[in-house]
Structure 1
Amino acid sequence: MRVDVLGLQAFVAIAERGSFRAAASHLNLSQTALSHRIRKLEEMLGTPLFLRTTRQVSLTAAGTTLLPRARRIFEDLGSALDEVRIDLQEGDDQVSVGCLPTVAVHCMPSVIAAFARRHPGVGVRVHDNSASEIAGKVQSGEVEFGVTIVAANRWDLELKPVVKEPFVLVSHRDMPLAQAASLTWAQLQGEPLVRISAETGNRILIDDALGARRESLTWRYEVQRVVTAVSLVRSGIGYAIVPQLALDAVEAGGLVAVPLRSPTVTRTLGIVTRKTVPLRPVARDLLSLLSQALKRSITPRRDE
Structure 2
Amino acid sequence: MRVDVLGLQAFVSIAERGSFRAAASHLNLSQTALSHRIRKLEESLGTPLFLRTTRQVSLTAAGTTLLPRARRIFEDLGFAINEVRVDLREGDEQVSLGCLPTVAAHCMPAVIAAFAARHPGVGVRIHDNSASEIADKVQSGEAEFGVTIVAANRWDLELKPVVKEPFVLVSHRSMPLAQEASLTWAQLQDEPLVRISAETGNRILIDDALGARRESLTWRYEVQRVVTAVSLVRSRIGYAVVPQLSLDIVDAGELVAIPLRSPAVTRTLGIITRKSVPLRPVTRDLITLLSQALKRSVVPRRDEEK
TM > 0.5:
yes
SS of the counterpart of 1:121?
coil
Q: How many residues align?
A: 219
Q: Which residue of 1 aligns with 2:161?
A: 161
SS of the counterpart of 1:277?
coil
- TM-score relative to the length of structure 1: 0.70
CA distance in 1, matches of 2:184, 2:97: 37
SS of the counterpart of 1:199?
coil
CA displacement, residues 58-93 of structure 1 (integer Å, 9 cap, x when unaligned): xxxxxxxxxxxxxxxxxxxxxxxxx979832442x0
Structure 1 stretches lacking a partner, 5+ long: 1-82
Q: Which residue of 2 aligns with 1:114?
A: 114
Give the residue type in structure 2 aligned to 1:294. L
CA distance in 2, matches of 1:109, 1:130: 19
Give the residue type in structure 2 aligned to 1:298. V
CA distance in 1, matches of 2:270, 2:86: 32
Q: 1:84 and 1:172, CA in 2 relative to 1: closer, same or farther beyond 3 A?
A: closer
Post-superposition offset of 1:227: 1.1
CA distance in 2, matches of 1:211, 1:151: 18
Q: Which residue of 1 aligns with 2:124?
A: 124
CA distance in 2, matches of 1:265, 1:207: 10
Post-superposition offset of 1:301: 6.4
Q: 1:84 and 1:173, CA in 2 relative to 1: closer, same or farther beyond 3 A?
A: closer
Residues 227-246 of structure 1: matches in 2 within 5 Å? 227-246=227-246
Q: Which residue of 2 aligns with 1:22?
A: none
Residues 106-255 of structure 1: matches in 2 within 5 Å? 106-255=106-255
CA distance in 2, matches of 1:243, 1:164: 10
SS of the counterpart of 1:159?
strand
- TM-score relative to the length of structure 2: 0.70
Residues 59-70 of structure 1: matches in 2 within 5 Å? none
CA displacement, residues 238-275 of structure 1 (integer Å, 9 cap, x when unaligned): 00000000001111111000000000000000000000
CA displacement, residues 189-217 of structure 1 (integer Å, 9 cap, x when unaligned): 11000000001000000000000000000
SS of the counterpart of 2:154?
coil
CA distance in 1, matches of 2:158, 2:177: 40
CA distance in 2, matches of 1:137, 1:193: 33
Moved over 4 A (4+): 83-86
CA displacement, residues 160-215 of structure 1 (integer Å, 9 cap, x when unaligned): 10000000000011101010000000000110000000010000000000000000
CA distance in 1, matches of 2:105, 2:86: 34
Structure 2 stretches lacking a partner, 5+ long: 1-83
Q: Which residue of 1 aligns with 2:89?
A: 88
CA distance in 2, matches of 1:138, 1:119: 23
Give the residue type in structure 2 aligned to 1:134. I
SS of the counterpart of 2:89?
helix
Q: Which residue of 2 aligns with 1:287?
A: 287
CA distance in 2, matches of 1:100, 1:151: 14
CA distance in 1, matches of 2:151, 2:85: 35
CA distance in 2, matches of 1:275, 1:235: 46
